[in-house]
Amino acid sequence: ADVDENGAGGVAGRLRRQVADSASDGAPQITLSVGVAGIKPHEAFEALVGRADAALFRAKADGRDRASR
């Protein structure tokens, strides 16, 4: 389904929590960092991917296990 950037951020946050909650007893902790970007009108795909990639690096730099825009 199509969602805006805010909706995608919410999906990313829920996915991150589900991954964290899925750990079995004795298993290593798993974390998930996500970069979220919404496409802008007339934007090239490469620009969208670049903004999502930059958001992912921000999430990692801010302490990992988070979603960033």
- pLDDT tens digit sequence for 16-49: 999 988 878 888 888 999 999 999 999 999 999 9
Structure tokens at 24: 């079995």
What pLDDT does 7 receive? 93
What pLDDT does 62 receive? 95
Integer Cα distance of 24 and 41 in angstroms: 43
Report how many helices (DSSP H) and strands (DSSP E) the chain contains, helices first.
Answer: 2, 2
Share of the chain above pLDDT 70, in %: 99
Q: Is the pLDDT higher at 15 or at 27?
A: 15
Q: What is the pTM of this model?
A: 0.83
What pLDDT does 1 receive? 61
Integer Cα distance of 61 and 68 in angstroms: 10
Looking at the DSSP assignment, which residues form a beta bridge with residue 67?
A: 34
Eight-state DSSP code of residue 41 = T
